[in-house]
Amino acid sequence: GGLPRVSELFEARRPKSPAVIAEVDGIVRFGKPLRSKERIYIDTEDGRTYEYLIDKNREILVHPGEYVHAGEKLTDGVVSPHDILRIQGEKALHTYLVSEIQQVYRRQGVAIADKHIEVIISQMLRQVKIVDSGDSDFIVGDLVSKRKFREGNERILKMGGEPAIAEPTLLGVTRAAISADSIISAASFQETTKVLTEASIAAKIDYLEDLKENVILGRMVPVGTGFYKDKKVKLRKKRDEED
For 12: left if phi > 0, alpha if psi spans -120 to 50, otherwise beta; the answer is: left
- pLDDT tens digits, residue range 212-231? 898 999 988 888 877 776 66
Domain definitions of the chain by residue range: 3-12+87-124, 26-77, 127-224
Q: How far apart are CA 194 and CA 196, in angstroms?
A: 6
End-to-end CA distance of the chain: give it in Å, rounded. Answer: 69
Closest Cα to residue 15, out of 83, 74, 101, 107? 83
- Show the low-confidence residues of the chain (pLDDT under 50): 242
Tell how far CA 2 is from the center of its chain.
Answer: 23
What pLDDT does residue 102 have?
96
Closest Cα to residue 214, out of 192, 188, 191? 188
Q: For residue 230, what are the CA distances in angstroms to 143, 148, 208, 220, 221?
A: 27, 18, 11, 11, 11
CATH 2.60.40.10 fits 26-77, yes or no: no
Residues 181, 184, 185, 186: is their CA dihedral positive or negative?
Answer: positive
Determine the CATH number of domain 3-12+87-124.
1.10.1790.20
- The mean pLDDT value of the chain amounts to 90
Q: Which helix (H) or strand (E) holds 178?
A: helix 173-178
Closest Cα to residue 62, out of 52, 78, 74? 74
Its CATH class, for the domain covering 127-224, is mainly alpha
What number of helices (H) and strands (E) belong to the chain? 9, 7
Q: What is the pTM of this model?
A: 0.81
- pLDDT tens digits, residue range 16-38? 989 999 999 999 999 998 888 99
Same topology, domains 26-77 and 127-224? Answer is no
> Phi/psi at 21 (nearest 5 deg)?
-120, 150
Tell me if 93 sits within 8 A of 125, measured CB to CB: yes
What pLDDT does residue 26 have?
95
Closest Cα to residue 93, out of 169, 17, 173, 11? 169
Tell me if 186 sits within 8 A of 206, measured CB to CB: no
- pLDDT tens digits, residue range 143-163? 999 999 999 999 999 999 999
Question: What residues contact 75, with CB distance under 8 A and at least 6 apart?
Answer: 19, 20, 54, 58, 59, 60, 61
